A and B are shown apart, each in its own frame.
Chain A
Amino acid sequence: MDAKKIKILAIASVGGHWVQLLRLRPAFEDSEVVFVSTRPSFATMVEGNKFYSVTDASRWNKFKLVVSFFEIFRIIRKERPGVIVTTGAAPGLLGIFAGKVLGCKTVWVDSIANVEKLSMSGKIAAKVAGRVYTQWEDLAGGKVVYEGNIL
């Protein structure tokens, strides 16, 4: 048995995504967690953990998407986490892509705000990530699983 701690990179952009990510923290107990978000001041919310801030991006701004991707890629290459966990949005999806390329286990938790259908990023993540959760039972199916929600 390898007694070494698992390293998790937990990434989400500002707003509801970040708040939902923080609610998953008990799942990270006994692991080393590196947090990534899009506001430097969020470091104060995860004191005791390593924190990186990256450029926020959405699919409406291709240039920022590229910048953000390389920032995230660099962090993952440096930190070498075993697992990437994200609650979205676009930066989280970029984390899934970069993590996949660098050989990490990847988990997408679709935001609880998506009550009628999976988010666009979630649909893409479903093709790439190792595990994809929806927070609404009626949206589960195929690779997308429902196992309760962040409330």
Chain B
Amino acid sequence: MSEAQTLLSVSGLTKDFGGIRAVDSFSFDVREGSITGIIGPNGAGKTTVFNLVTGLYKPTSGTIRFLGEEIGGRRPDTIVRHGIARTFQNIRLFNRRTCLENVLTPLLQRERCGFLGAMLGLPSVRRMERALHDKAHSLLAALGLDAYASFEASTLPYGLQRKLEIARALATEPSLLLLDEPAAGMNPEETHSLANLIAEVREKFNVTILLIEHHMDLVMNICSPIVVMNFGALLATGTPEAVRENPEVVKAYLGERKEKR
């Protein structure tokens, strides 16, 4: 059995916004092939960590290494090309574009294509476009969205919009997929099928998952390890059982017993 390598390694990560320290000397690792969960009370800095990893914010100090390479402070699109994709807490779709076009956009960005040829509409370019259309369709189909391919993204029901965002993220062919509260606003049934979807995605697309969640049933069910944050710093990390029993965690977070967001 080969040793799973460390995909993402965050060390001493700190982020200040003016006088506020949102992330405080935060360190953790993500093992390849795992589904790692980050939990913590609201305002603990979880989404800020995501934003730092994906290049939306520049770290104040600390390092973020992906596959050995330092990516802290790089541009978001550069980091995407390295193989990290994400979804957002408040869904950010290309609202007025169809589902197909939402997924097609990242696929197109990955294509090497001559500008002149594209402007003239050469047959080779048309062929490439058709191939990408097919690829987009199959990606939608893999997430059960192919029926909605020509629907405008904003017309989709909430749950499907979340799935579409995941599909779009997968179109960038990532090695690491960051999901920011994917189960937000879902009922227990939807959360359950989301858990299955996440496991399926990991299998089918060979991608490591890192997710932020408040739905404890989802996190405890599929994530291992679990990283707990509070006030921007690492509180605990370990298996679901270990975290559940950790008195610090219980005190800071689980003890509040807020069942659902």
Q: Are A and B co-members of a single complex? A: no
